[in-house]
Amino acid sequence: MEQPPTTQSETPPTTTTPPLTTTSSTTQPDQPAQSQPQTSSPTASSSQPLPPSINPNPKHPNLPTSQSLQPQPLNPLSRTQFNRPYPPFPHFSPMTSHSTTSSSSMTSIPPAQRGGMALGVPAHPSPQPPTSFSSLTPPSFGSQFGGLGRPGNVSVPESAPSTSTPQVRQSISGMQGVGMMGSLGSSSSLRASGIAPSHPQRPLQSPLRPQANANNQSATTQNFQDHSLLRLPPAGSPGSPAPTTQQTTQSHNQPWLSSGTQGKPPLPPQSFRPQMNPQTLQQRSHIPSQQQTAMSASTQQPQTSSSLQSQSSSLSQQSPEQHYSLPPSRVPQNLTHQQQMARNRGLGNQRPFTPVIGQSSQVSSQPMVNKPPSAVEPTEPCNRIISKRSIHEIVSQIDPAERLDPEVEDILVDIADDFVESVTTFACSLAKHRKSNMLESKDILLHLERNWNMSLPGFSGDEIKCYKKPFGNDVHRERLAAIKKSIAAAETPNAKSLGGQAGGGAKGHPAKTTGLVIGSPNSKGRETT
Amino acid sequence: MNSNPAGAPSKARVGSSQPSETSFKRKRGVFQKDLQHMMYGFGDDPNPLPETVALVEDIVVEYVTDMVHKAQDIASKRGKLLTEDFLFLIRKDLPKLNRCTELLSMNEELKQARKAFDVDEEKLASGE
């Protein structure tokens, strides 16, 4: 998919995608800024600008896999989305290079798209035929783009072969020379796409979303993480990390890019978060970007520290809905479990795909609101707390060689979802019982401790649980005392008689037991005597 | 929630009117120094993160609290809390149980040794 060597658009950012360079070859290196969609355009015109050969594997071995999964749904979308010329992103070089990039050439790309998505979208060799640049870029880029394309470009048509190309081009162009894998556009689009699966409802990003999701997922899986392609400038999220870089690149490409970049809040450069051009990010929306940064920050945190804690900390600050925008800082133990879960969800989605997804989700949520990023499932429209990828990771922690059936994974995802929901619901009723409007960690802790027998150290605060002496009724105590007395008395030779006396009265039952007890010592006593 | 008397910073009793509902305010960092060394011994960094130490301390305190509560539940029938109650609680965990019995027997030996030592000293003193 990579861009035709000619177009520099694809020139994969030298840094980003080494494989791209190989594939997209020529153009890519010089296209760090990707502002040179034009080069790509000629290639793109060839309609499948991305020489599939190159891209498929060298670049993103992962892409094809991931993208194939997701891009498909996206492809059709992406294609349509790609109205704008696809800027020759370094990553995209394989894809973008072909037509979109060159044609769209970053310059022309309407800023709406995302400012020069220099999406270096890793030409993912996967299913998308070079034709649709969209497929290429979208997957890698697509995931990134997915978010990017939102404005319509993203169409990260992961595999939108053929048809996608024109669209891709457009989308790409929209992305505009995002020097870096349409960091801007891609990131936003990606995010959108990433989130798309989770939030099908987002109208804004719907077009992008499916793509973004596909892209994200594919991208995340494939490229972002591996290839520099994914490096797309901080995907979607307000290209914080790479804003500077992107800006420069973008600015090269297009003047409007520069403007965009600045607007975006810094997006924590997650390892592979495609760095969306700041411009595109801006367009996307500041909020999402913030969220992304928060997310990225948060995602980073979980990775560094306990995911839950980090998440919770960030979450605690915001309602679960807003986990996107949560500041990376951890808030110690004030997080409600719910928040943690929300965070988890958000992060969970991200984790498997790491930055890409997180970003995409953020992107999608931008205008939308912070929909908790449900598990990223490229094709599944419903929201899930956790993604299958997370299930895989968890299982690998238990046994690296273990494999689960797909149905089992589905069930586990459902179980996780139900668990979170039930715990949150009950905790909310506890909070209400407490006459409070805010759900706090103690509500969740109490529920888990009492009903699930789960104690979570590190969240309970400063109180020590005091001991409750076992409460006994007065009558019960009297009876117990009587039994003891009768037992003591039974040891004397008169135990039998005492036992008999004790039998009558309230101590009927105890007396029987004592009688039994007495029986043996009596017999023993008799034997001795 | 608890009013801390000036002299008892670590604990506070809500009031005698609430017999088993007093909650104690926990003092943080009770095991901090020792835990750091122990964590280092188990493979952590020589200077572990304070959050980590705090978390481990939380875990330890929670474990001890839970264990004591259970032991008290068992011992309340007898009336007095004994060492055997704790041993009963960890009966399923063999490594812990063996370690506990070993430490208890060591303790006994040391007591005997000290006692013998003191007696010797007395003898020497009287002999002089």
pLDDT of A162-186, one tens digit each?
444 444 444 444 444 444 444 444 4
Of A305, A458, A466, the CB nearest to B21: A466
Q: Which of A466, A468, A487 to mutate to test the interface with B (most CBs of B within 10 A)?
A: A466
Put simply, the answer to whether B72 touches A463 (Cβ < 8 Å) is no
Q: Which of A112-126, A244-258, A407-421, A466-480 has the highest mean pLDDT?
A: A407-421
Q: Is A454 on the interface with B (CB under 8 A)?
A: no
Residues A84, A177: Cα–Cα separation, whole Å: 10
Q: Is A476 on the interface with B (CB under 8 A)?
A: no
Any domain includes A395: yes
Residues B2, B17: Cα–Cα separation, whole Å: 13
DSSP class of residue A401 equals T
Are A238 and A186 in contact by the 8 Å Cβ rule? The answer is no
Any domain includes A74: no
Nearest CA-CA partner of A217 in A358, A412, A364: A358
Nearest CA-CA partner of A195 in A66, A327, A326, A324: A324
User: What CATH number should be reported for the domain holding residue A458?
Assistant: 1.10.20.10
For residue A463, report the phi and psi dihedrals to the nearest 5 degrees.
Answer: -90, 150
Residues A421, A154: Cα–Cα separation, whole Å: 33
The distance of B124 to chain A (nearest Cα, Å) reads 48
User: Percent of chain A scored above 70 by pLDDT?
Assistant: 20
What is the rounded average pLDDT of the residues A279-290?
A: 44
The percent of chain B in helix, strand and coil, each rounded to the nearest 5, is 60, 0, 35
Residues A165, A136: Cα–Cα separation, whole Å: 9
What is the rounded average pLDDT of the residues A496-519?
A: 49
What is the rounded average pLDDT of the residues B36-62?
A: 93
Any domain includes A444: yes
Any domain includes A133: no
Sort out which chain A residues have CB atoms less than 8 A from B22's CB and list them: 466
End-to-end, the C-alpha distance of chain A in Å comes to 104
What is the rounded average pLDDT of the residues A209-215?
A: 44
- Which residue does chain A place closest to B2, by CA atoms? A463
DSSP β-bridge partners for residue A464? B24
Are A367 and A347 in contact by the 8 Å Cβ rule? The answer is no
Put simply, the answer to whether B24 touches A458 (Cβ < 8 Å) is no
Contacts 24+ apart (CB under 8 A), A306-309: A307/A344, A307/A347, A307/A351, A308/A340, A308/A343, A308/A344, A309/A333, A309/A340, A309/A458
Q: Is B20 on the interface with A (CB under 8 A)?
A: yes
Q: Is B55 on the interface with A (CB under 8 A)?
A: yes
Any domain includes A314: no
Residue for token pair 């370690």:
B99
Whether A357 has a pLDDT exceeding 90, the answer reads no
Are A156 and A212 in contact by the 8 Å Cβ rule? The answer is yes
For residue B25, report the phi and psi dihedrals to the nearest 5 degrees.
Answer: -85, 130
DSSP β-bridge partners for residue A178? A117
Structure confidence at residue A380 (pLDDT) = 53
**Half-sphere exposure for B39 (CA within 13 Å, toward CB):** 21
Whether pTM > 0.90 for this model: the answer is no
pLDDT, averaged across chain A: 54
Residues A104, A84: Cα–Cα separation, whole Å: 6
DSSP β-bridge partners for residue A49? none
Any domain includes A423: yes
Put simply, the answer to whether B26 touches A463 (Cβ < 8 Å) is yes
Residue A417 lies in domain: 388-464
Any domain includes A407: yes
What is the rounded average pLDDT of the residues A308-334?
A: 41
Are A191 and A363 in contact by the 8 Å Cβ rule? The answer is yes
- More confident: A333 or B50: B50
Q: Quick check: helix, strand or coil at residue A232?
A: coil
Of B23, B55, B69, the CB nearest to A463: B23
Put simply, the answer to whether B26 touches A462 (Cβ < 8 Å) is yes
Structure confidence at residue A409 (pLDDT) = 92
**Is the C-alpha dihedral spanning A127, A201, A363, A270 positive or negative?**
negative
Put simply, the answer to whether B62 touches A460 (Cβ < 8 Å) is yes
- Provide the token pair at A108: 């022309």
Quote the number of domains for chain A. 1
A vs B: CB pairs below 8 A: 48
Q: Is B128 on the interface with A (CB under 8 A)?
A: no
Any domain includes A487: no
Residues A468, A193: Cα–Cα separation, whole Å: 54
Put simply, the answer to whether A468 touches B22 (Cβ < 8 Å) is no
